[in-house]
Structure 1
Amino acid sequence: MPRPSATFATLLGLSVFLSGCGGSTSSSGPKGKPGVFAIRPVALRTNGLGVDPKTGKVWASLPDGNGSVVDIDPTTGATGSPIEVGVNPGVLAVSADGSTMFVGLDGTSALRKVDLRTRTAGGTFPLRTASGSDLLASVIRFQPGSNTTIGVSTNVAPPFIGEATGPLIYDDGVPRPNALGLYTGRDFVWTSPSRIVTVFGYDWNEVVVDAQGASISRSVRNEPLRDTSLVVRHGGKLYGDDGTVSDENTLARIAALPIPGPFYGGTRSRPVIDVAADRVFFLVTTPEGVRLFGYRFSDLSLVNEIELPGLPGAGSEDRMTRPDLIRVGAHGLACRSKSTVYFLDNVPGL
């Protein structure tokens, strides 16, 4: 195995260790806390990340060659055998039972289904508006309890500019007829099989899903205005990348965490919730680098924020245009830049 690099930083009493893939640590800190927060980079050009809920493996879309998806063992960084899916694969999602993946193909404005049990790519389905404009998948989420029905938020494909519908509803690749209009959702969450909440800037939209597709039933704009682009759901609450915390039923704002940014050229990640560690995590790309914020899940107070050494800032060519912060294993996170997947170990130490 390659030897870890000897790069250390101590931030607010927490040791941070930047290791090569396969590196390990054995330091211990104060009683009850992991002593070392390890960053393990895996050199891999990717367009998107997702987690298999059944196996815990991370899936990545690879733009090089013919375009493929590959699984990564988060404990070792070892990759499996790639599955070819098509030109320039992007965002992806894995069903709760681990049987099925859908991946967006940015090179052909399409979706592709992958059977993860047999590791074979299935049918390809075009992503287009009713008028025939090509779309690119920006978010894919499975309907609760299903491995065939998905919601897909999209952007209009170049050379046109604009954020499009969010979400379109597909049953095994077949679109339902009713679709939302432009600027209705950069991101979304299912709160039940028949209800979705979308976010777009200042607006939070309640969306009804039925056999005909999706339609907005009401919109909420909370004051003071905050710009929400990404959202997750847990325990009856919705958490936005801008720090907004809202009730999932009324959509009323409960709290507003002081998350900085977004900075010019930078990004904020979708929040990640770790109930066992009593944490909500946010990743923010700044001009100088990348910072990880940890808040208590129980009372939303700030526990710590740290600079992640070695991760590219907003001014880098390798910057995190979409960091895809995801939950990995019992106490880990993963994120990505254009050329590297980073595994963050012992995160509860924050």
Structure 2
Amino acid sequence: MPQQVRGVVAKSKGAPTEVVTITLPDPGPRDVVVAIAACGVCHTDLAYREGGINDEYPFLLGHEAAGTVEQIGDEVTHVAVGDYVVLNWRAVCGQCRACKRGRPWYCFDTHNASAPMTLEDGTELTPALGIGAFADKTLVHEGQCTKVDPEADPAVAGLLGCGVMAGLGAAMNTGHVERGDSVAVIGCGGVGDAAIAGARLAGASTIIAVDRDARKLAWATDLGATHTIDGSQVDDVVAAIQELTDGNGADVVIDAVGRPETYETAFYARDLAGTVVLVGVPTPEMRLELPLVDFFSRGGSLKSSWYGDCLPERDFPMLVDLYRQGRLPLEKFVSERISLDDIESAFHKMEAGEVLRSVVEL
């Protein structure tokens, strides 16, 4: 029968979030009820509240989550009751043209739960990224659940559900950083610092962190940056990156901000035939103007990274294992552990650059 639980809901644009009672329907044939143990506070949740994703209010926020499978539909085979899982928003279909071409990380028909969660009055909720995990429990498609080592701290493991995976994957999957490469990362929030950690894990020899906030540069150093550039203190960031790379520019430059000016910096800060990876999310009105001849003459690759080009079934267990072995310091991304009632405060701290991740524990 349907269950009633607590959930954090954004009811209108810009309005403070509310902790309310929500109703979970019985799971459909391939749906799963997951009891949430922890969920990170991501900038995407704030974007939903502010109407930056769409206007399908009310939203059930939260998506960077880990928890335990509590109930399954009749046709579920992917997970079982009691499994410890990290939730993902790339439940690949296996049938679309991307999947059939062996590129499931580009899947064009990802799955979500078959029935909506609702408010007590029956109003349908739009779950953030098809998950909605600022709640005691949530309803997702079985393909949105990835089993990982149950000994992993859920506050840490859940971060792979979005931002940390996006950054790690931007370096390792999209940028294909290799041993001995030079890497520059522009923007050292959660995603950028994850890209730095990914570059370090991949064996990059020079990892340059670029930001305008000294606190963020300190975090970047702690996560593997070998050099830092404070953009507020130098006149030419491109020249500063070139100076640290024998005058050549970096092999891979990752833009974790997603603005025209940061992308232009990334474009010119790479070596000839180098790679630019855009993982920061721009807004629709942003425009970029560069001489077309520079695209031709510099060669190399210009890539966008969506969710770090990850395959949850492949990447989540591997990365959790590396964390458990002490080779990937995911715990450093957890700045504070909070309750459902602290979401608004966490949003303010995130906007002020005071935290890498606030994590709700339930």
The alignment's TM-score, normalised by the length of structure 1, stands at 0.28
Higher helix share: 2
TM-score normalised according to structure 2 size? 0.27
Instruction: Give the structure with the larger strand fraction.
Output: 1
Higher relative contact order, chain-length normalized (CA < 8 Å, sep 6+): 2
